[in-house]
Chain A
């Protein structure tokens, strides 16, 4: 069955370190998204991609970067981790044919703690 996976599921790091969170989907979807989930804020969009070599900034992109070198993967990099980036991170993907009407399929999440 097609799926979307994230690794690691849990990560503890120190302030100032570079951290990369992996996202891999086997749906062959064009679109991929990264969100962070914080209490009282719901999900907020960090970065998104509509295809290979395409990346775009979302609502809360400062301090994060992504690159899309193939269809299956969209890794999220925290250039220099800060305590404010302690959060649960979700990756999602969608086909891309219906744009705004697409159903997004979510990974299980990565819980990141920055000490």
Chain B
């Protein structure tokens, strides 16, 4: 079984401030980890993913995330928030095969960016 915990439902930052969105996972197999973003009235699109190799993963729009196995975490960061980053962010986990190969999503976090 696998699960994702995204604490809190809403994060608000000022433009130019650090963005930190937390994600912790539970998985019985080595995890694949994903961050997806959903802009208003749109479908989800991939920001970044960790499969194997380097634990610091860089994605689109200046976002990055670090896989920390010891902490079962995959937190998303961006050094300087932009107004266009306002959206809902979903962390997701999957495994290699079988029942674990399907994505399990967290509940999502809404990011607001203040001018």
Q: Interface on A for B, CB 8 Å cutoff?
A: 4, 33, 40-45, 48, 58, 90, 92, 98-101, 103-109
Contacts and interface: CB of A to CB of B under 8 A. Distances in A.
B100 A100 contact: yes
A106 B88 CA distance: 15
A9 B44 CA distance: 15
Closest 3 CB pairs of A and B: A106-B43, A100-B101, A100-B94
B51 A101 contact: yes
Interface in B83-112: 90, 94-97, 100-103, 105-108
B44 A106 contact: yes
B107 A104 contact: no
Interface of B: 9, 32, 36, 41-46, 49, 51, 90, 94-97, 100-103, 105-108
Contact of B43 (A41, A100, A107): A107
A7 to B, nearest CB: 14
A8 to B, nearest CB: 14
Given A101-B49, A103-B49, 16 more contacts: A33-B102, A40-B9, A42-B90, A42-B105, A48-B102, A58-B102, A90-B44, A92-B43, A100-B32, A100-B96, A101-B94, A104-B46, A104-B103, A106-B43, A106-B44, A106-B45
A98 B34 CA distance: 14
A99 B105 contact: no
B42 A108 contact: yes
A108 B49 CA distance: 21
Nearest to B94: A100
A88 B42 CA distance: 11
B67 to A, nearest CB: 13
Contacts of B105: 42-44
B54 to A, nearest CB: 14
11 contacts: A42-B90, A42-B106, A43-B44, A43-B103, A48-B102, A100-B96, A100-B100, A101-B32, A103-B46, A106-B43, A108-B42
